[in-house]
Amino acid sequence: MASKTSKKPAAAKADKPRAAAPAQAGDVPLLSGGNPQIAKGYGDAPVQAYITAMPGWKSDVGRRLDALIERTVPGVYKAVKWNSPLYGIEGEGWFLGIHVFTKYVKVAFFRGSSLNPMPPGQSKHKEVRYLDIREDDQLDEEQFTDWVGQASQLPGERM
């Protein structure tokens, strides 16, 4: 009697970092509110693809925020998930996310209620606080980098 060939179960795929190909601004579809549709990926490349695809003035804001975050948290871990750039500490979780809306760029501090002073935008989630940046707003870079520094020291969000 022939024996059945036994197959080993397939190993579970680890959630390994993947880099997305750099995007050109016109190559990326925009979702509701102008948010770029970027494939999930880890590292700087997908975040830069997202920033490049941000429409109009929002791309300049994205570049400035990214540079300030990198300067404040050397070696910051980056990813794009759910069509939003995330920033965190590898192995510790995410402390900040960015999302594009029609009239503003929203920065989410995932433990924002623990920041001093708290970012101005409230959330339905108790710990989350937002900073909305509109086209004519002057970003208070000193306050922003202070929040980024504080946020990077708090427990990260697992997503």
- Domain count within the chain: 1
Please tell me the predicted confidence (pLDDT) of residue 20.
42
In a domain, 50, yes or no: yes
In a domain, 115, yes or no: yes
Q: Residue 79's domain is classified under what CATH number?
A: 3.90.1150.200
Please tell me the predicted confidence (pLDDT) of residue 98.
97
DSSP state of 124: S
What would the pLDDT profile of 119-141 be if each residue is shown by its tens digit?
999 999 999 999 999 999 999 99
Q: With a cut of 80, say whether residue 7 has pLDDT above it.
A: no
Range of the domain at 38: 29-151
Higher-pLDDT residue of 21, 92: 92
Please tell me the predicted confidence (pLDDT) of residue 22.
44
Please tell me the predicted confidence (pLDDT) of residue 18.
42
Please tell me the predicted confidence (pLDDT) of residue 31.
79
Q: With a cut of 50, say whether residue 8 has pLDDT above it.
A: no
In a domain, 141, yes or no: yes
In a domain, 13, yes or no: no
| pTM for the model | 0.81
CA distances 35 to 72, 133, 142, Å, are 25, 14, 26
Of 76, 71, 15, the residue nearest 41 (C-alpha): 15
DSSP H stretches of helix in 4-111: 44-53, 57-72
Please tell me the predicted confidence (pLDDT) of residue 159.
82
In a domain, 17, yes or no: no
Q: How far apart are the first and last CA of the chain?
A: 51
In a domain, 157, yes or no: no
